[in-house]
Structure 1
Amino acid sequence: MSVLPIERVHGDHLIDRSAQNITIDADHSALGRILQTVGRPVREVRLRSLLDRPVVEVEGVDSSLQLFDGQSGHRLSPLNEQWARSIAMGVYRGAGKQPPTALHIAQASTEYRGPLPAWQLAFPDEESTRIYVSANTGRITAVRNGTWRLYDFFWGLHIMDWKNHEDFNTPWLMAFAAGGLVLALCGTVLLYFRWPKKRRKPKAL
């Protein structure tokens, strides 16, 4: 796993992440309407740009996320396929020339364990790039490619979680860790008994 560049594993060469982090000013009157529309206690309000338009991302105290238009105050989430496709194509900088295929994701999988619901945009390039877009915020939540899948395969072997590739407390891992500890202790004891001891020379009469 150390041989694979972590930047390629994360897919940094395939998308432009800076486009997701632009903060802007929004219409304060629209912001007031948005807070009234939410109808629940709010933890944080984030103003940013999405597809060159101002949007307001509202996080409730229950960790729920909603997205609103920063000018009209209209609710945008959950985003539809057209939105997700435009977002993915706007940040993608790989070699694929054809538009991606979209798939709505409602359940976590080995490849994607991020916020749900989400959209999977699969690009027909050499790396089989898949960009995941949160349906509630429009943010890029994951990028998967061939390098990531190879890394994840060996990671699953490393932690001995053959299914989800994320559990460090599997019985297999604990059994091998205990076995390794026992072997180390036994080796230390054997080394002590096998270590050559200094013999005293007999005294001359």
Structure 2
Amino acid sequence: MMILRNAVRLHKWLALIIGLQVMIWLLGGLVMSALPIERVRGEHKIAEHPALMASPGTLIPLSDAAQSAGFETLDGAVLTTLTGEPAWRLQSDDRTVLVSARDGSRLSPVNEDLARRIAEHDFAPEADIESIRLLTDPPSEYGPGGPVWQIVFADEEGTRLYIDPESGLVRARRSDAWRLFDFFWRLHVMDYDDGEDFNHPLLIVSAALGVMVALAGLVILFIRMRRSWMIFRQTRTR
């Protein structure tokens, strides 16, 4: 039958072209679904701390904090905590400045000592800090450009925290689980650089070929099942 012959030929050649990538998609999907996303994000190692209780009278007003930061106008202001102490996080003209809400002293840019205290305050397990560096050109596992503090912990999961020197926020948590997930994610989206682009032509063409393989396989399956059913009916009527 012409349709069956063409479907088999199409299925065979397309499978040779795209078969390995299909297996990578299946394997990547298995690995990424098996890894708990909370573990990938490092959420299981975030320390829990009680909410800070502070009397308003012991905190400096926002106007004093803005003056200490050198801001005449503000785009945003958040009263937050930093290593368990109250702090104002102020934004103006794409700049972020941290100011102590106790005495008005500037806390940013975050120095090495404060970055260490932020990391130790954030990290739940008992593990020593192996290294701490201010990187102007951070590795691809971080994502955004520098500068950023990289704190490496000597734990069993190879944990690294990345702390923004302006805001004092932990911008990224990386571990061996994250790196394994990221490796298969890059293979999955066929972006072998940083894994950010999943709309590129290579992926679209490969996905289209994968769909054609599946459709050709369905045609073959339908024709052969129909043929088997007809043979079965003929043997029953004899």
- TM class, shorter-length: 0.7 to 0.9
**Residue 100 (str. 1) matches residue 148 (str. 2):** no
1:117 to 141, 147, 150: 147
CA displacement, residues 71-117 of structure 1 (integer Å, 9 cap, x when unaligned): 33232211011111111112222252x33310112235321025743
Corresponding letter in the other structure for 1:82: D
Task: Compute the TM-score of the two structures, normalised by the length of structure 2.
Answer: 0.69
Count of aligned pairs between the two proteins: 195
1:158 to 182, 188, 197: 188
Q: What is the deviation of 1:187?
A: 5.8
Q: What is residue 207 of structure 2 aligned with on the other side?
A: 177
Q: Which runs of 5+ in 1 are unaligned?
A: 198-205
Task: Compute the TM-score of the two structures, normalised by the length of structure 1.
Answer: 0.79
Q: Take 2:151 and 2:78, find their aligned partners in 1: how far apart are those partners? A: 25
Residues 128-143 of structure 1: matches in 2 within 5 Å? 128-143=158-173
Q: Hey, which of these two has a bigger chunk of helix by percent? A: 2
Q: What is residue 23 of structure 2 aligned with on the other side?
A: none
Residues 22-61 of structure 1: matches in 2 within 5 Å? 25=56, 27-29=59-61, 31-36=62-67, 37-39=69-71, 41-60=73-92
Q: What is the deviation of 1:129?
A: 1.0
Aligned-CA RMSD value:
3.0
Q: What is residue 112 of structure 2 aligned with on the other side?
A: 81
Q: What is the deviation of 1:14?
A: 1.9
Q: Take 2:101 and 2:132, find their aligned partners in 1: how far apart are those partners? A: 26
Structure with the larger RCO, 1 or 2 (CA within 8 Å, 6+ apart): 2
Runs of 4+ in 1 over 6 A off after TM superposition: 188-195
For 2:44, what is the secondary structure of its paired residue? coil
Corresponding letter in the other structure for 1:144: R
Q: Which runs of 5+ in 2 are unaligned?
A: 1-31, 228-238
